[in-house]
């Protein structure tokens, strides 16, 4: 089965270059070069949910960033310091570069969704002409078709695009936050260390959802904490005294004599 192609784009607001932080950067010496470098980093990160790494084991250094963005190394060094100070960029504990704004700027669609969108646009033009000839308002018809089109694209992205989503190992802070949310007894540090040593593999397969793994650990912890209940002994038990046993023995003797 061929891999599903996806197209990404940045959704910049109309006032992007009027923002205070962007204007402050642009007013610096070489500020326009900083802005261009920032946009290149955003584009480079959109297919990885805002995270920038050369590979799972190798993070980007300044020289590598200069190479992939075709930017002077001195510009890269100075710009990265400014971006971190303004919280446009965050360098994580494993040296992954995280573009903090990218999650609000990503737009994407699959190749199939693009073809369908272009086809629908062509059909809308034909239908507008026909509706106009019949006396209907083309704007109302176009609005209804646009709503249907957006739903189809969203369904296509969820069904096909999710298959190619890349797994990113969680940080200790993310695991701690999720365990607090679940109010479980899972040790976040033990969880991270265990799967890190296994290369984040579950059996022979690469982990896809670390939160699902947490829930599995949670059930395992519960099973070890709570003793297994005997299904044949679920009712309250009466405590018998020596006098009770004596009375019971007398009753059995009387029954034997009567028989």
Nearest to 157 by CA among 115, 107, 110: 110
pLDDT on residue 48: 79
pLDDT in the model for residue 197: 87
CA distance 93 to 41: 19
Q: What is the average pLDDT value for the chain, to the nearest integer?
A: 77
pLDDT value of position 103 = 76
Q: What is the pLDDT of residue 1?
A: 47
For residue 243, name the pLDDT band (cuts at 50, 70, 90).
low
What value does the mean pLDDT take over residues 131-152? 58
Cα–Cα distance, 206 to 48 (Å, whole number): 17
**Percentage of residues in the chain with pLDDT exceeding 90?**
21
Read off the pLDDT band of 12 (50, 70, 90): confident
What is the pLDDT at residue 16?
85
Q: Does residue 19 register a pLDDT over 60?
A: yes
10: enclosing H helix or E strand:
strand 6-10
Instruction: Report yes or no: 136 and 184 within 8 Å, Cβ to Cβ.
Output: no
The yes-or-no verdict on residue 226 having pLDDT over 50 is yes
Q: Where are the domains of the chain?
A: 6-104, 109-164, 172-225
pLDDT for residue 33:
94
In order, the DSSP letters of 14-54 are: TTGGGSHHHHHHHTSTTHHHHHHHHHHHHHHHGGGTTEE-S
**pTM assigned to the model:** 0.42
Higher-confidence residue: 163 or 98? 98
Q: In sequence order, what are the residues at sequence separation of 6 or more whose Cβ sits closer than 8 angstroms to the Cβ of residue 219?
A: none
pLDDT on residue 109: 47
**Which pLDDT does position 102 carry in this prediction?**
77
pLDDT band (50, 70, 90) for residue 65: very high
Closest of 110, 198, 190 to residue 156, by C-alpha: 110
Q: Which CATH architecture has domain 6-104?
A: Orthogonal Bundle (1.10)
Per-residue pLDDT tens for 178-212? 999 888 888 999 989 988 888 888 888 888 899 98
């Amino acid at each position: 089965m061929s891999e599903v192609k996806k197209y990404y784009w940045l959704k910049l607001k109309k006032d992007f270059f009027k923002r205070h932080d962007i204007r402050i950067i642009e007013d610096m010496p070489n500020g326009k070069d900083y802005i261009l470098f920032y946009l290149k980093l955003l584009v480079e990160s959109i297919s990885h949910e805002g995270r920038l790494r050369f590979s799972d084991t190798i993070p980007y250094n300044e020289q590598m960033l200069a190479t992939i963005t075709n930017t002077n190394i001195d510009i890269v060094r100075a710009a990265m310091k400014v971006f971190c100070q303004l919280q446009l960029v965050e360098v994580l504990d494993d040296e992954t570069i995280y573009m903090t704004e990218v999650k609000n700027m990503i737009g994407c669609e699959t190749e199939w969704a693009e073809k369908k969108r272009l086809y629908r646009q062509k059909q809308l033009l034909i239908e507008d002409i026909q509706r106009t000839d019949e006396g209907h308002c083309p704007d109302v018809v176009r609005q209804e078709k646009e709503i249907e089109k957006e739903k189809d694209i969203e369904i296509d992205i969820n069904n096909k695009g999710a298959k190619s989503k890349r797994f990113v190992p969680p940080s200790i802070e993310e695991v701690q936050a999720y365990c607090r949310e679940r109010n479980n007894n899972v040790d976040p540090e033990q969880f991270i260390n265990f799967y890190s040593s296994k290369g984040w593999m579950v059996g022979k397969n690469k982990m896809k959802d670390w939160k699902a793994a947490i829930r599995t650990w949670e059930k395992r912890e519960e099973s070890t904490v709570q003793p297994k209940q005997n299904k044949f002994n679920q009712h309250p038990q009466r405590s018998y005294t020596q006098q009770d046993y004596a009375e019971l023995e007398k009753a059995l003797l009387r029954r034997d004599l009567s028989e």
